[in-house]
């Protein structure tokens, strides 16, 4: 049986209330269920029961060493519908001091940020299949700086991303 998609992710965090506040403000997530030391959040427009689970392990928890001194998850990637959405989230992440990078991967336009515990995540817009060109496909081999203004002119600020790629056409 093939896997269709990621349904949710679960993160261990130092302070669940602080993390909930961050994901609500940064990405617009809503709490769908909470209990002592845990919360389950849903992304706007999601049909999942929840997209993100947060489990509190306390302020004394050491930072994640994944990718530095141990194996582990590098990041999660959340997908947005439009380049205008990506631009709005870029501004919000910058305002929160969470934005750590922005890259053009040819077929994917990506922001990179860190949550209050230093856990990295990506927010991306995928070029729709109908707009893929030999140039955008070749650009996947490298990483360029993200230029949202140029991409909005090229693809349209309101063009729905991922159609025919991550979203059925």
User: Does residue 147 carry a pLDDT above 90?
Assistant: yes
Strand, helix or coil at 109? strand
Tens of pLDDT, residue by residue over 61-89, are: 999 998 889 999 899 999 999 999 999 99
User: Does residue 93 carry a pLDDT above 80?
Assistant: yes
For domain 1-58, the CATH class is alpha beta
CA 161 to chain centre: 14
Q: What is the DSSP pairing of strand 120-126 with strand 52-56? A: unpaired
Options 3.30.720.110, 3.30.360.10, 3.40.190.10, 3.40.50.720; CATH for 74-169 is 3.30.720.110
Domain with CATH 3.10.180.10 in the chain: 1-58
pTM over 0.95: no
Name the maximum alpha-carbon separation found in the chain: 51
Give residue 12's pLDDT band: very low, low, confident or very high (50, 70, 90): very high
Domain with CATH 3.30.720.110 in the chain: 74-169
Neighbouring C-beta atoms of residue 55, cutoff 10 Å:
13
DSSP state of 51: S
Q: What is the pLDDT averaged over residues 50-66? A: 94
**Could you give the CA distance from residue 126 to residue 83 in angstroms, rounded to a whole number?**
9
Tens of pLDDT, residue by residue over 115-140, are: 999 999 999 999 999 998 888 888 88
């Amino acid at each position: 049986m093939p896997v269709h998609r990621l349904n949710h992710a679960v993160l261990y965090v130092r302070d669940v209330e602080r993390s909930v506040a961050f994901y609500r403000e940064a990405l617009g997530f809503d709490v769908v269920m909470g209990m002592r030391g845990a919360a389950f959040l849903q992304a706007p427009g999601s049909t999942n029961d929840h997209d993100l689970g947060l489990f509190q392990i306390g302020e004394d928890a050491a930072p994640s060493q994944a990718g530095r001194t141990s194996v582990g998850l590098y990041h999660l990637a959340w997908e947005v519908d439009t380049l205008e959405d990506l631009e709005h989230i870029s501004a919000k992440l910058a305002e929160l001091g969470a934005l750590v990078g922005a890259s053009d991967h040819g077929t994917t336009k990506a922001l990179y940020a860190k949550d209050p515990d230093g856990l990295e995540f990506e927010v991306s817009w995928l070029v729709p299949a109908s707009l893929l060109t030999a140039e955008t496909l070749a650009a996947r081999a490298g990483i360029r700086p993200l230029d949202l203004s140029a991409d909005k002119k090229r693809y349209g600020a309101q063009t729905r991303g991922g159609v025919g790629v991550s979203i059925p056409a």
